[in-house]
């Protein structure tokens, strides 16, 4: 298990999720996030990262998914059975994959939408000022329609909008997706700043280098299971993670040193401390041996058609 004895804010225990009654997307995921932590969740496409966040934020139902087993608690409160809008009011906000900004609304209106659960005009305008302070670029473009923003600006807006309700925890689903390295660096710096202001962060990423650089602990999902977990620095230096998630363009990483994260996120803030070279592969808690089969799951005919989301619908053979 990661992290020491501080009280856990988010607790996910042996979670199982099924889509459309047949596609088992999570097969027992356990994760806990302490107050004030940044925890990364890594894994390749289709591993179940977004499913995990949807289960926490109460939006599985909108995708035809259902929690079939396991526990979900936030700050002691049971999340199962609560609607998405109620979970926001507990102080837990999910910023979905692909930014999902309201393109026809202005930047300012997007932020207003994000603060809709907040009582009191003063509290809302304070939250908005904080977002504009964090992302001055958004303040410059406050009256622009959000669809006209660049990809990086849209990601800032998506994060800023999530901050409008002053959450205690932010779930970020692949904020680096489709962004240029310099922009990824800015987003990473913003995440660190948000965390420094006291917000816990669950950071789902395929960009393992960036995520490991700014998180304390990390979990690796594989085919719906937690395959590895541990302190981020150890994972970053591990053979296994380096080979699978940090390797350059198909070329396997040479040794146990792993690759310096900066190779992959050159835009990262310069003040990033250089990681200690180590060989902690042994110290990683291994949940189970990695599955022999790798690569993309085979598509399952007939299931995708029933699902509402436009995402990938490849099922996994049982």
Task: Report the distance separating Cα 112 and Cα 106, nearest Å.
Answer: 10
Task: Report the distance separating Cα 157 and Cα 147, nearest Å.
Answer: 11
Among 34, 43, 167, 267, the residue binding ligand ADP under the rule CB under 6 A is: 43
- CB-nearer residue toward ligand ADP: 131 or 159: 159
Cα angle 154-158-161, degrees, rounded to a multiple of 5: 130
| Binding of ligand ADP by 309 (CB under 6 A) | yes
Task: Report the distance separating Cα 282 and Cα 64, nearest Å.
Answer: 39
3-state secondary structure 17-49: EEECCCEEEEEEEEEEEECCCEEEEECCCCCCH
Q: How many chain residues interact with ligand ADP (CB under 6 A)? A: 24
| Binding of ligand ADP by 311 (CB under 6 A) | yes
As a whole number of Å, the CA-based R_g of the chain is 19
Task: Give the alpha-carbon dihedral of 65, 32, 230, 249, to 10 degrees.
Answer: 30
- Which residue is listed with tokens 């401390």? 273
- CB-nearer residue toward ligand ADP: 25 or 134: 25
What minimum distance in Å lies between the beta carbon of 19 and other proteins? 14
| Binding of ligand ADP by 19 (CB under 6 A) | yes
Choose the one of other proteins, Mg ion, ligand ADP, none that binds residue 314, judging by a C-beta under 5 to 8 angstroms depending on kind. Answer: ligand ADP
Among 50, 57, 154, 215, the residue binding Mg ion under the rule CB under 5 A is: 50
- CB-nearer residue toward other proteins: 90 or 189: 90
- CB-nearer residue toward ligand ADP: 165 or 207: 207
Task: Report the distance separating Cα 300 and Cα 20, nearest Å.
Answer: 12
Choose the one of ligand ADP, Mg ion, other proteins, none that binds residue 62, judging by a C-beta under 5 to 8 angstroms depending on kind. Answer: other proteins
| Binding of ligand ADP by 316 (CB under 6 A) | yes
- Which residue is listed with tokens 């997307």? 25
Decide: residue 220, CB within 10 A, 0-12 exposed, 13-18 middle, 19+ buried.
buried
- Only segment of 116-124, 246-254, 257-265, 301-309 that touches ligand ADP (CB under 6 A): 301-309
- Which residue is listed with tokens 């304390």? 216
Task: Report the distance separating Cα 308 and Cα 20, nearest Å.
Answer: 10
- CB-nearer residue toward ligand ADP: 278 or 307: 307
- Only segment of 42-50, 117-125, 210-218, 263-271 that touches ligand ADP (CB under 6 A): 42-50
- Give me the 84-113 binding string for Mg ion, x by CB under 5 A, dash otherwise: -------------x----------------
What minimum distance in Å lies between the beta carbon of 168 and ligand ADP? 23
The residues of the shown chain that bind other proteins, judged by CB under 8 A, are: 57-59, 61-62, 82-86, 88-89, 93-96, 100, 102-105, 109-110, 112-114, 116-117, 161-162, 164-165, 308
What is 224-271 written as a DSSP string?
TEEEEEEEHHHHHH-HHHIIIII-BTTBPP-STT---GGGT-TTS-TT
Length of the chain: 318
What minimum distance in Å lies between the beta carbon of 113 and other proteins? 4
Give the dihedral sign, CA 48/49/50/55.
positive
| Binding of Mg ion by 32 (CB under 5 A) | no
Q: How many chain residues interact with Mg ion (CB under 5 A)? A: 2
* Interface contacts to ligand ADP, rule CB under 6 A: 19-20, 23, 25, 43, 45-51, 63-64, 297, 303, 307, 309, 311-316
């Amino acid at each position: 298990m990661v992290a020491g004895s501080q009280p856990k804010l988010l607790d996910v225990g042996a979670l199982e999720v099924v889509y459309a009654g047949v596609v088992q997307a999570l097969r027992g995921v356990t994760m806990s996030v302490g107050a004030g932590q940044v925890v990364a969740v890594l894994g390749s496409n289709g591993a179940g990262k977004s499913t995990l966040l949807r289960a926490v934020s109460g939006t599985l139902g909108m995708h035809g998914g259902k929690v079939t087993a396991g526990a979900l608690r936030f700050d002691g409160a049971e999340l199962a059975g609560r609607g998405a809008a109620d979970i926001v009011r507990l102080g837990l906000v999910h910023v979905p994959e692909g930014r999902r900004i309201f393109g026809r609304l202005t930047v300012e209106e997007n932020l207003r939408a994000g603060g809709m659960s907040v009582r009191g005009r003063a509290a809302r305008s304070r939250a908005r000022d904080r977002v504009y302070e964090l992302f001055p670029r958004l303040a410059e473009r406050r009256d622009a329609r959000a669809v006209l923003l660049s990809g990086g600006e849209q990601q800032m807006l998506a994060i800023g909008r999530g901050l409008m309700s002053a959450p205690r925890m932010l779930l970020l689903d692949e904020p680096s997706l489709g962004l240029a390295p310099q922009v990824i660096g800015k987003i990473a710096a913003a995440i660190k700043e948000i965390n420094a202001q006291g917000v816990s962060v669950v950071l789902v990423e395929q960009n393992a280098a960036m995520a490991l650089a700014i998180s304390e602990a990390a979990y690796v999902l594989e085919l719906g299971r937690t395959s590895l977990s541990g302190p981020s620095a150890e994972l970053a230096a591990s053979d296994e993670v380096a080979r699978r998630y940090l390797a350059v363009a198909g070329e396997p990483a040479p040794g146990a040193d792993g690759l310096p994260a900066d190779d992959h996120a050159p835009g990262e803030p310069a003040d990033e401390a250089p990681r200690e070279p180590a060989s902690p592969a042994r110290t990683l808690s291994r949940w189970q041996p990695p599955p022999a089969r790798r690569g993309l799951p085979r598509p399952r005919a007939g299931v995708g058609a029933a699902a509402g989301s436009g995402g990938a619908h490849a099922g996994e053979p049982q």
